[in-house]
Structure formats: C-alpha cells, structure tokens
C-alpha cells in the first residue's frame, strides 16, 4: 500500500488541530481529509473509504465515541484512534471497548504519533498482503473444484489440462474419496465438449443387467418390465462426456460390450438390432489395481489398454497432508455460507489432530467430518472434540454384546469410514457386495448410495 493510498480522516472541532495535523501527515505522503464535527465525519465515512480515523473525543453534537461506533458499522476495516485533551481511565476504556486502536492525549509527542501511524499502516499492509496472498494461493491451488498445493496434484492438474483438450479416453486411478468424479467433471469443463452433457454412472452400484440397460438403454419389451423404449447413458452423453466410475467392478460380458462401443463408436440398445452411432468421450475411474486384475484374468487386457490411454493417478490425502489446512479452510468457508453459520476456523489443537489423522476416506471423509463439526460444534472456533474422529473418541465397550451386535456395529463403523462405499466396505470386510447388502438390510443400517 503506498502512502497516498493510506487515507486518514481527521475529525476535530478545532480548526487549528485539523490544519496542523493534516499538514503534518500530508508531508508523510498520506491522503488526508478533515471533518469539523461528527455529522460531517459520518457523511464522509458513508461516501469514501478511510484507512485511519483520528477522532477527537469531545465534540459538540455527535461525540468521538459515537463516530467510532458508526465507523465500525460503516467501515469495519478502518483503524480508529481517539484523541482528547483530557485523559481519564473511563474514557480510555469506553474508546477501547468500541474498538479504538489507541488513545492519544493532546498534545502528542511527535515520535509517538509518527510510530503509531507507521504501526497502523504496517498492520493494514500486512492484513491486505495476507488477504492478497491467501487469494493468490487459493487461485494457484485451484483447478475447478479441486484444491491442492501438493506438487503431485499440481502435476495432475497440468496433465489434466492438457488431456482435457484431446479426445482420448482417460483412466483415473485413486482411492475412494480422492475426487475422481470432481476431476472427471473438471476435464469435461476444460474440454471442447464443455457445452455438451456430462453423464456419470457408478458401475459398482448396479447389477450387471441393470448396468447394461443404464449404459446402452433398451427397446420396448427387451425384458420383463421394459414397457417403454429407454435411452442409455451413451446416448444421453452424446456430444459430451461419459464418466464410468468403479470400472473395475464390471462383469466379463459388459467388458466386451464396452470395448466394442469404444472401438466402433456404435452400439445397440438392449433388445435392439439397429446400431446407434455416438460421439462420446469416455473417462473411466477405479480404486482397484486394474493391472493386477488384468494379470489375474478378472479384467480384459484389451479393454484395459483401450481405457488406459491417458492414465491419471490421484494421490490419497495421507500422501499430501499439506493440503489438509487448505481444504479445511475451504470447507469451513463454503459450509459457513451453506449452513448459514459463521465459523471463524479451526483451533490449533484440532488442526494438529486432523493433520495426524490418516483419512482412509480421503477428502470426502475430511469434508464430512468438517461438516459434522460445523453442525455439532457450539463455538465460532472448531475444537478437537467437535470432530469426533474415529479413534479420538472412545468407543463404547461391547463386553455384554452378542456376536450379532458386534457384527452390526463393526459393519456400521466400516461403512462410516468408507463413507458408505459398498465396494470398499465389502473389500475391507472381506465379503462380497451381495452379502454386505443383505447384512445392511438385516441390521437396518442406512445405505449410502454414493460411490466414489
């Protein structure tokens, strides 16, 4: 901030004071304005921005304290200093309570005034610099809805930007909750197809026949219940992007169908014979090791190579802990607006605890626990207890619990940790998805349908 940009308003009913003080400050290069009373000062505060307010305490009509009170409402960033010929403890306390920065007894020592103004200017500069840097940091760390200052993620952003401009198929690797769909949406938004549709399908959430119908659509009467003709995701995504999440979970028949459509750019609806041509860019994602699945024979190698034209790997949150404070700040800011609750931030202890946490559910888990803390935490600063991290809060003892009860609680806990991701939870529990579904139904556990 240049000195000319520092605008000082002197409010004093004595002309001599206004004149001498403004002359003194103008020689420092500041832009100085004056007001002979409180009413004029308030008008000038309403009309122009002021960095520093030097106000005489005792003035006829609206006094200095009232001016400061009004200034706080009109221009909260203004630093107010009260001036008076008579110092009393009471007036000093009242001024400070109203948010005055300092209290000067007339006449002031020139060095005292000079140092105080310099201090305020420096402080204002730091506040502004801090705000500018934070904004720049957020801008630099941002790629559409993804936020990271991690070097690996920055390379992902660079690669994504280049890849987005091409028509090639992209395969995104990453654990659940790392933001694979957000990345796919970012690619779509950056691509020449951005005006077209973005269609997302989770391959793990559906049975093979349902998924087939979802992807390719069906003709009327193709199967029991197919009472009308239905367009599939490939048709809906024509001219745009189709995001196939959990691609590693699709069965052998669909792998063949998918390969065919990727090769020929045509397909037939279920129960139909007419080939339909589509112009769709496919982005697939998986949290599984597809190379291993290929080696094990569970995934077709030709489909793998067809999908893996541009591979992008999203690192898990535990490998980029430097992003945790940035993401927490982002979520707190966003949710403050969404929840209509003003939260200033997170305490140092809470941040240390978050930095220590492993986040098996990655950014999604972080977002959820921040949201929970914002809903449940009572104060303006979120404390460690507000987050109720697994492990940080003692789990109730299960000494008298039955085997079924232990199983119910364990499944519920794993589902919570995986944020309701059935495939991931099933893998952790070492059971298949159908078994997990049946246990969820049996124990009446809430099913989270969203997969990564």
Nearer to another protein, 14 or 102 (CB): 14
Please identify which residue in 60, 110, 225, 444 interacts with another protein, judged by CB under 8 A.
110
Asked if residue 139 binds another protein (CB under 8 A), the reply is: no
Please identify which residue in 49, 108, 341, 348 interacts with another protein, judged by CB under 8 A.
108
Nearer to another protein, 6 or 191 (CB): 6
Q: How far is CA 114 from CA 109, 118, 283, in A?
A: 9, 6, 62
Asked if residue 157 binds another protein (CB under 8 A), the reply is: no
Binding region for another protein (CB under 8 A) out of 39-47, 107-115, 230-238, 442-450: 107-115
Q: Is residue 335 within 8 Å of 344, Cβ to Cβ?
A: no
Backbone angles phi, psi at 447, to 5 degrees: -90, 125
Asked if residue 86 binds another protein (CB under 8 A), the reply is: no
Cβ neighbours of residue 158 under 8 Å, at least 6 residues apart? none
Asked if residue 109 binds another protein (CB under 8 A), the reply is: yes
| Burial class (CB within 10 angstroms; exposed 0-12, middle 13-18, buried 19+) of 30 | buried
Residues 15 to 54: which contact another protein by CB under 8 A? Answer: 16-17, 19-21, 23-24, 26-31
Nearer to another protein, 57 or 83 (CB): 83
Closest CA to 191 of 279, 65, 316, 319: 279
Binding region for another protein (CB under 8 A) out of 1-9, 164-172, 211-219, 252-260: 1-9
What's the chain's length in residues? 452
Nearer to another protein, 2 or 273 (CB): 2
| Burial class (CB within 10 angstroms; exposed 0-12, middle 13-18, buried 19+) of 238 | middle
Please identify which residue in 11, 41, 83, 451 interacts with another protein, judged by CB under 8 A.
83
Q: Transcribe 128-180 into DSSP letters.
A: HHHHHHHHHHHHHTEETTEE---HHHHHHHHHHHHHHHS---EEEEE-TTS-H
Q: How far is CA 304 from the centre of its chain?
A: 32
Asked if residue 152 binds another protein (CB under 8 A), the reply is: no
Please identify which residue in 87, 96, 115, 401 interacts with another protein, judged by CB under 8 A.
115
Binding site for another protein (CB under 8 A): 1-4, 14, 16-17, 19-21, 23-24, 26-31, 83, 106-111, 113-115, 125
């Amino acid at each position: 901030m240049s000195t000319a940009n520092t605008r000082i308003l002197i409010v004093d009913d004595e002309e001599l004071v206004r004149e001498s003080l403004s002359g003194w400050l103008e020689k420092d290069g500041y832009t100085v304005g004056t007001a002979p009373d409180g009413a004029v000062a308030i008008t000038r505060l309403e009309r122009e921005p002021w960095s520093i307010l030097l106000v005489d305490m005792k003035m006829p009509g609206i006094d200095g304290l009232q001016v400061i009170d009004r200034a706080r409402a009109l221009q909260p960033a203004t630093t107010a200093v009260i001036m008076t010929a008579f110092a009393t403890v009471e007036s000093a306390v009242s001024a400070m309570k109203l948010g005055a920065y300092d209290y000067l007894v007339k006449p002031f020592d020139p060095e005292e005034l000079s140092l105080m103004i310099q201090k305020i200017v420096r402080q204002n500069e730091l506040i502004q610099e801090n705000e500018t840097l934070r904004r720049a940091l957020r801008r630099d760390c941002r790629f559409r809805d993804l936020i990271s200052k991690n070097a690996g993620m920055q390379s992902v952003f660079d690669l994504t930007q280049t890849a987005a401009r091409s028509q090639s198929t992209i395969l995104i690797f990453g654990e659940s909750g790392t933001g694979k769909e957000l990345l796919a949406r970012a690619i779509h938004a950056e691509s020449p197809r951005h005006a077209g549709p973005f269609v997302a399908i989770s391959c793990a959430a559906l049975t093979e026949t349902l998924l087939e119908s979802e992807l390719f659509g069906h003709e009327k009467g193709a199967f029991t219940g197919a009472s009308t003709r239905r367009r599939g995701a490939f048709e809906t995504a024509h001219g745009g992007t189709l995001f196939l999440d959990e691609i590693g979970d699709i069965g052998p028949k669909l792998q063949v169908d998918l390969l065919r459509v990727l090769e020929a750019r045509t397909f037939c609806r279920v129960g139909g014979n007419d080939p339909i041509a589509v112009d769709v860019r496919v982005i697939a994602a998986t949290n599984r090791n597809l190379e291993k699945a290929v080696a094990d024979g569970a995934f077709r190698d030709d489909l793998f190579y067809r999908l893996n034209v541009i591979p992008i790997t999203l690192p898990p949150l535990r490998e980029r802990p430097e992003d945790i404070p940035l993401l927490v700040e982002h979520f707190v800011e966003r949710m403050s607006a969404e929840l209509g609750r003003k939260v200033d931030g997170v305490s140092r202890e809470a941040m240390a605890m978050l930095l220590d946490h492993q986040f098996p559910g990655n950014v999604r888990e972080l977002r959820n626990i921040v949201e929970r803390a914002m809903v449940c935490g009572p104060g303006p600063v979120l404390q460690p207890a507000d987050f109720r991290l697994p492990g940080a809060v003692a789990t109730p003892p299960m000494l008298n619990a039955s085997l079924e009860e232990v199983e119910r609680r364990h499944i519920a806990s794993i589902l919570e940790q995986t944020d309701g991701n059935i495939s991931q939870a099933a893998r952790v529990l070492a059971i298949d998805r159908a078994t997990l579904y049946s246990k969820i139904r049996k124990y009446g556990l809430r099913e989270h349908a969203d997969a990564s």
